[in-house]
């Protein structure tokens, strides 16, 4: 008797990918996520390719992973995929200390974030 499979976390015409432990703050990562929400995937890839933000490259890799998941795992047509959702979450925070005057110290927070990208297949309207 085998173990039953987990239910799908997204719809039938959707696939997703998640990138964890991205070394940037959530606000900066959300600016990149906002720039690709609702776009067709080929336009979103081009936008991320020419973005000047450092974190755009890991986001592009995550989007490519979501596209590959849609094609290989769920049999979706990659020419009709759009970025349905792109949302950002917090992850761990490295805490460091900096020496200050009079023997005191100040805390330096180095946040990490994660991004989840959901792609959906939409049919072209005539």
| pLDDT digit string, tens, across residues 24-54 | 999 999 999 999 999 999 999 999 999 999 9
What is the rounded distance in angstroms from the CA atom of residue 64 to the CA atom of residue 62?
5
User: Does residue 4 sit within a domain?
Assistant: no
User: Does residue 37 sit within a domain?
Assistant: yes
pLDDT tens, 72-102?
999 999 999 999 999 999 999 999 999 999 9
Mean pLDDT of 2-8: 83
| Tokens linked to 65 | 């992973």
Residue 29's domain comprises 14-121
User: Does residue 72 sit within a domain?
Assistant: yes
pLDDT greater than 70 at residue 13 = yes
**Percent of the chain having pLDDT more than 90?**
87
CATH number at residue 51: 3.90.470.10
Mean pLDDT of 110-118: 97
Torsional sign, CA 112, 35, 74, 68 = negative
pTM of the complete model = 0.90
Q: Which residues pair with 18 in a beta bridge?
A: 116
User: Does residue 115 sit within a domain?
Assistant: yes
User: Does residue 2 sit within a domain?
Assistant: no
């Amino acid at each position: 008797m085998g173990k039953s499979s987990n239910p799908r976390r997204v719809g039938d015409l959707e696939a997703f990918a998640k990138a964890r432990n991205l070394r940037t703050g959530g606000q900066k990562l959300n600016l990149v996520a906002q720039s690709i929400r609702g776009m067709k995937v080929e336009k979103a890839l081009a936008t991320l390719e020419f973005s000047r933000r450092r974190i755009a490259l890991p986001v592009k890799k995550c989007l490519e992973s979501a596209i590959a998941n849609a094609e290989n795992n769920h049999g979706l047509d990659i020419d009709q995929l759009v970025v349905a959702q792109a949302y950002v979450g917090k992850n761990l925070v490295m805490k460091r200390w900096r020496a200050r005057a009079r023997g005191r110290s100040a805390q330096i927070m180095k946040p990490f974030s994660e991004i989840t990208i959901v792609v959906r297949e939409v049919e072209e309207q005539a």
